[in-house]
Amino acid sequence: MARILIVEDERQIREALKQVLEREGHTVRLAENGDEGVLAFCAEPSDLVICDILMPVKDGLETIEELRRLAPELPILAVSGGGPGEKAQFALDVAQLCGAVQVLAKPFSRKEILAAIDRCFVPGEAGGGGAG
């Protein structure tokens, strides 16, 4: 299974994702902001990073760009509530421009997050939508 780093400022979401992913057999590490996420990745690279977009300290877009420079082939799944409607979709669209291979709007179901993670590892599926 994959080594997954979750970069998410909301503790409840971090913990819920960790539980879901560990039940699926993944090894999960947590970071609560972009700075911590980049440091955690540098200390121990992951197979996948799930990164929130709107965070204090270093936002997800900056984090994605920095991770992309450090590991160009790293699959990154961007997630965001980003506000209502078009604002949320805009944040996810920009995340893809910054290097996220998949995006997913909050709130999402267990099935949706697992499917998005699977798409991150399928050749030709990276960069596909999944927002919604």
CATH number of the domain enclosing 7? 3.40.50.2300
Is 130 inside any structural domain? no
The helix or strand, by DSSP H or E, that contains position 28, with its residue range, turns out to be strand 27-31
The predicted pLDDT at position 132 comes to 36
Dihedral sign for Cα atoms in the order 121, 112, 58, 54 = positive
Domain that holds residue 110: 3-120
The predicted pLDDT at position 8 comes to 97
Q: Is the pLDDT of residue 56 over 50?
A: yes
pTM value? 0.90
Instruction: Provide the number of structural domains found in the chain.
Output: 1
* Per-residue model confidence as pLDDT tens digits over 116-129: 999 998 866 554 44
The predicted pLDDT at position 117 comes to 96
Is 57 inside any structural domain? yes
Mean pLDDT is lowest, of 39-43, 71-75, 96-100, for 96-100
The predicted pLDDT at position 124 comes to 61
Q: How far is CA 13 from the centre of its chain?
A: 12
